[in-house]
Amino acid sequence: MEKTENLLDKIVSLCKRRGFIYPSAEIYGGFAGFWDYGPYGFALKNNIKQLWWKMFVADREDMYGIDAAQITKHDVLQASGHVGGFSDPLADGSRFNTMFRTSAGAGEDAQTAYLRPETAQGIFTNFKNIVDSFHPELPFGIAQIGKAFRNEISPRDFIFRAREFEQMEVEYFVKPNEWMLAFEFWQKKMHEWISAVGIDATKAHELEVPDSERAHYSKRTIDFEFDFPFGRKELYGLAYRTDFDLSNHAKASRVELSYLDEETKTKITPHVIEPSLGVDRTVLAVLCSAYFEDELGGEKRVVLKLKPAIAPIKVAVFPLLKNKPELVKKAREIFTDLKIAIGAVVFDDNGNIGKRYRRQDEIGTPFCITVDFDSLENGDATVRDRDSGKQERVAIPDLATRIQKDS
């Protein structure tokens, strides 16, 4: 089981060849900082988002999910500090605001707007809506998964630094004196997530971000870094945003953004802990963790050892031989049943069995089922495990349960 040199090049090439991720506008020479997800990459990304939503939102009672607009009113980003401060230095010493600016409406009605640089602001501007509609008690969180846009001066390292990317964010509202407890809670949860999604935990590290390098809104930040092939770089951030955003939006909008503490009958502005996770960086860290070149049964192979829960395809079904109609018929029956039970299932009868295994290993399919002549006699089929190559015979009616047990 070897990790390889030029790991990033190999991953980029696999992603393109096997339909995970393509350079955007490739037929026009590409478009720096933009990437298109193909069928397997899209499935992998969706599975990652679903797992995150389950762990951070759906399994909990104190979370509210939203999906806010991506184009954001100027006033919002003015109040949040992004219009004035969301900039990177250029080579000549001037600063460049990395928000994409656009305008909404025509003619005299046109107003400046921005593609959101973080999903967080859509959460803060909906704080009052959630409080009014759901009357949650502190602490509670509002969560969102969605696109964010930054006109990065030098996009690089594949999907690591892109100009259009996706974030999974929680703004967790707490009583001001309870921020440390919540910070520690989410810190632990992020470690739990790293293991659950299949990122190599031995390559993930925490970095306490010093005062001088923290974002304008943060009083404490921990960066979760990962040993990418191009160095140790930020994977996620966990920030204590204090009441910076709610207070600034309240001031600028002149709408009260407070919370009535039932115990003390006083109004408070909640403080915020923010776990912020990039989807695309998760995809890249997962791929870096899962990519192996090894030997199985004397044959070299490339394998993605993805957690079954996020694998784009859960199971592939093969007839042992393509030219035996009875095998093909049985295999197609199994495929159809599994498609209903499991969904992400493919049928493959191209080339020999060895080649089919290699193709599935390369995209991280945890199980392959082969239908052979014994299957017709005994009503069972071979289930082959991606990582060990081990095969077991399973009765056809039990196949779905067998696969789901480990997915």
Residues forming the site for ligand GAP (CB under 6 A): 118, 120, 150, 152, 161-162, 165, 167, 169, 234-237, 274, 276-278, 280-281
Q: Between residues 169 and 361, which has the closer beta carbon with respect to ligand GAP?
A: 169
Tokens representing residue 94 in the block: 């001037």
Minimum distance from CB of 391 to ligand GAP (Å)?
Answer: 39
β-pairing, 380-385 vs 367-371, is antiparallel
Q: Between residues 161 and 249, which has the closer beta carbon with respect to ligand GAP?
A: 161
Minimum distance from CB of 118 to ligand GAP (Å)?
Answer: 3
Q: Do 157 and 19 touch, CB atoms closer than 8 A?
A: no
Q: Between residues 52 and 165, which has the closer beta carbon with respect to ligand GAP?
A: 165
Minimum distance from CB of 181 to ligand GAP (Å)?
Answer: 21
Q: Between residues 75 and 152, which has the closer beta carbon with respect to ligand GAP?
A: 152
The dihedrals phi and psi of 79, each to the nearest 5 degrees, come to -65, -35
* Rounded Cα–Cα distance for residues 31 and 10 (Å): 21
Give just the sign of the alpha carbon dihedral 209, 210, 213, 219: positive
Minimum distance from CB of 229 to ligand GAP (Å)?
Answer: 16
* Rounded Cα–Cα distance for residues 406 and 113 (Å): 47
* Rounded Cα–Cα distance for residues 133 and 300 (Å): 58
Minimum distance from CB of 165 to ligand GAP (Å)?
Answer: 4
Q: Between residues 218 and 375, which has the closer beta carbon with respect to ligand GAP?
A: 218
Q: Between residues 5 and 211, which has the closer beta carbon with respect to ligand GAP?
A: 211
Q: Between residues 194 and 334, which has the closer beta carbon with respect to ligand GAP?
A: 194
Minimum distance from CB of 240 to ligand GAP (Å)?
Answer: 12
Minimum distance from CB of 209 to ligand GAP (Å)?
Answer: 10
What is the CA 96 to chain-centroid distance, rounded? 28
Q: Between residues 67 and 326, which has the closer beta carbon with respect to ligand GAP?
A: 67
Q: Do 250 and 265 touch, CB atoms closer than 8 A?
A: no
* Rounded Cα–Cα distance for residues 97 and 84 (Å): 8
Comparing every residue's Cβ against ligand GAP, the nearest one is: 278
Minimum distance from CB of 252 to ligand GAP (Å)?
Answer: 19
